[in-house]
């Protein structure tokens, strides 16, 4: 059976046309869209419908409206996906176990890729960040450094889909990393275990040793899992 | 420094308020939103701004507008994320290698979970699907059965985040699975290799053997990788 095309609202049809032009490569990042007036005339729909469609595309991070200049194709989609994913998580009554599994999946792959593909420059940066973790002071928020290490590893995978998935899930992971760190620290009354684990992970990556990087990351994630279950 | 709140457009402020109510659990799936008129009065903004915000939320799969009944909180976010991710992929000049790595990451984790968590009923269904693949006829589109097996495995992981990520990426993966299957079939002049691989994967899952399920899935994905590189 055919689906009823008229069921699709006017503003949705406008969105589809613009999306199709992006997917087919006719519209590229940085390209300027026609004005609202021109779009309205070309597509034969009201300016209200055009404006509604543009609002949606703007929120989705697909177009950027620059005051006095017009609307441009951009690529802020990644950032715009964070809120919807968080809401999906809440509306599905998602659990910590779900997040931990997701995290394991992304990070165990990313850590192997990072050890294989990281550049000397990135290794240097990773070394610096991991040294901050073991610095003997209470000034720094160790939770933030912890997060920085994990994000750096995701970036070093050099796969923008893996990096994006990590970033998109960061909102979910973020609260989780800070919470679980605090719980582990409270539970063991010291941070050493965690710091040593991070050092081992970073050292293996820098030694271009994906097998050990994987093993130490797994050890780290297993500790979090076990501690979360105990608490 | 503080950021300029007035930079946020009215319709974006309306969206934020509704999103916050979902994230804090005040609005739940199935709940009816106030009417446009009531929202406009409560928030002190124009009905145009309210309508623009509702259009965005509708496209994001967060609300569902039922004719004559009003707007309801729903959870079609997963489906609504497919288009943005496809566009992100195009705008980033994504490569097949990126997709294959993403696919490996999701499926190697999912296959282990499926072997651990699958129910007898699901095993029965998986068996049926995998038998269709080896049936000696040309009527069926084997590519579709192939996809069905992989999606079934993702569902059997029982982790909605992993299943969602697989589904969200399905648009990217879909063309890819069909393309790569055809290439492998053309390259080897027969489908047997692929069918045997799928049978081994399914049999291991049904035998509740995550280690072998992982090994055979890896073998399958490696074959795809090698063939894609050769072709």
pLDDT digits (tens, 9 = 90+) for A46-78: 999 999 999 999 999 999 999 899 999 998 888
Nearest CA in chain B to A85: B77
Nearest CA in chain B to A57: B56
Least confident of A225-229, B22-26, B193-197: A225-229
Nearest to B162 among A86, A101, A161 (CB): A101
Contacts of A30 in chain B (CB under 8 A): none
Contacts of residue A134, Cβ cutoff 8 Å, sequence gap at least 6? A195, A199
Closest by CA to A105, choosing from B163, B117, B171, B225, is B163
pLDDT at A3 over 50: no
Q: Which contacts (CB < 8 Å, 24+ apart) does range A140-147 have?
A: A142/A181, A142/A191, A143/A177, A143/A178, A143/A181, A143/A182, A146/A177, A146/A181, A146/A194, A146/A198, A147/A174, A147/A177, A147/A178
Region B102-123: what's the mean pLDDT? 94
Q: What are phi and psi of B223, to 5 degrees?
A: -60, -45
pLDDT at A114 over 60: yes
pLDDT at A156 over 80: yes
Binned at pLDDT 50, 70 and 90, residue B85 comes out as confident
SS3 state of residue A175: helix
Inter-chain touch A101–B62, beta carbons under 8 Å = no
pLDDT at A184 over 80: no
Q: Report the 10 Å Cβ neighbour count for B17.
A: 13
Inter-chain touch A22–B165, beta carbons under 8 Å = no
CB A48 within 8 A of CB A61: no
pLDDT at A5 over 60: no
Binned at pLDDT 50, 70 and 90, residue A136 comes out as low
Percent of chain A with pLDDT over 90: 51
Q: How far is B159 from chain A (nearest CA, A)?
A: 6
Contacts of B113 in chain A (CB under 8 A): 101
Q: Which residue has the higher pLDDT, A125 or B96?
A: A125
* Dist CA B206 CA B188 (whole Å): 28
Region B59-85: what's the mean pLDDT? 89
- Decide the pairing of beta strands A63-66 and B63-66: unpaired
Percent of chain B with pLDDT over 70: 85
State whether residue A67 sits within 8 Å of chain B by CB: no
Contacts of residue A73, Cβ cutoff 8 Å, sequence gap at least 6? A22, A27, A28, A29, A30, A31, A33, A62, A63, A64, B91
Q: Which residue has the higher pLDDT, B132 or B173?
A: B132
Size of interface A-B (CB pairs under 8 A): 129
State whether residue B91 sits within 8 Å of chain A by CB: yes
Query: What are A52's strand-pairing partners?
Result: none
pLDDT at B5 over 50: no
Q: How far is B5 from chain A (nearest CA, A)?
A: 16
pLDDT attached to residue B6: 57
Mean pLDDT over each residue of chain B, to the nearest integer: 86
**How much is the ipTM here?**
0.75
Nearest to B88 among A88, A101, A164 (CB): A164
Site from A8, A55, A73 to mutate, B interface, most B CB atoms within 10 angstroms: A55
**Which of residues 172 through 231 in chain A touch B, CB cutoff 8 A?**
none
Percent helix, strand, coil in chain A, to 5, is: 75, 5, 25
Contacts of B106 in chain A (CB under 8 A): 105
Residue B121 parent element (H or E): helix B120-134
Contacts of residue B153, Cβ cutoff 8 Å, sequence gap at least 6? B107, B110, B111, B114, B126, B201, B205
The residue with tokens 């933030």 is A144
Binned at pLDDT 50, 70 and 90, residue B4 comes out as very low
Region B24-38: what's the mean pLDDT? 93
pLDDT attached to residue B195: 87
Region A74-102: what's the mean pLDDT? 83
* Dist CA A171 CA A90 (whole Å): 12
Contacts of A78 in chain B (CB under 8 A): 88
Q: What angle do CA B137, B143, B148 make, to 5 degrees?
A: 105
CB B169 within 8 A of CB A164: no
* Dist CA B187 CA B228 (whole Å): 10
State whether residue A113 sits within 8 Å of chain B by CB: yes
The gap from C-alpha A132 to its chain's centroid, in whole angstroms, comes to 24
State whether residue B99 sits within 8 Å of chain A by CB: yes
pLDDT at B139 over 60: no
Region A195-223: what's the mean pLDDT? 95
Side-chain-side CA neighbours of B32 within 13 Å: the count stands at 9
Binned at pLDDT 50, 70 and 90, residue A84 comes out as confident
State whether residue A79 sits within 8 Å of chain B by CB: no
State whether residue A30 sits within 8 Å of chain B by CB: no
pLDDT at B29 over 70: yes
* Dist CA B97 CA B178 (whole Å): 15
């Amino acid at each position: 059976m055919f689906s009823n095309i008229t069921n699709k609202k006017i503003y949705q049809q406008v969105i589809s046309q613009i999306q199709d032009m992006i997917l087919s490569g006719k519209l590229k990042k940085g390209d300027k869209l026609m004005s609202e007036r021109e779009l309205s005339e070309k597509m034969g729909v009201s300016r209200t419908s055009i404006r509604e469609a543009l609002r949606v595309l703007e929120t989705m991070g697909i177009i950027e409206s620059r005051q006095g200049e017009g609307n441009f194709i951009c690529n802020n989609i990644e950032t715009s996906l964070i809120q919807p994913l968080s809401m999906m998580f809440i509306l599905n009554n998602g659990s910590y176990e779900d997040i931990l599994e997701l995290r394991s999946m992304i990070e165990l792959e990313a850590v192997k890729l990072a050890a294989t593909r990281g550049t000397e420059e990135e290794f240097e940066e990773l070394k610096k960040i991991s040294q901050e973790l073991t610095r003997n002071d209470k000034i720094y928020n160790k939770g933030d450094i912890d997060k920085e290490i994990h994000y750096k590893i995701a970036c070093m995978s050099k796969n923008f889909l893996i990096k994006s998935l990590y970033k998109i899930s960061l909102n979910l992971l973020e609260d989780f990393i800070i919470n679980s760190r605090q719980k582990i620290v409270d539970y063991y009354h010291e941070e050493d275990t965690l710091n040593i684990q991070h050092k081992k992970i970073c050292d293996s990556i820098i030694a271009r040793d994906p097998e050990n990087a994987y093993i130490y990351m797994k050890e780290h994630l297993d500790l979090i899992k076990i501690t979360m279950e105990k608490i």
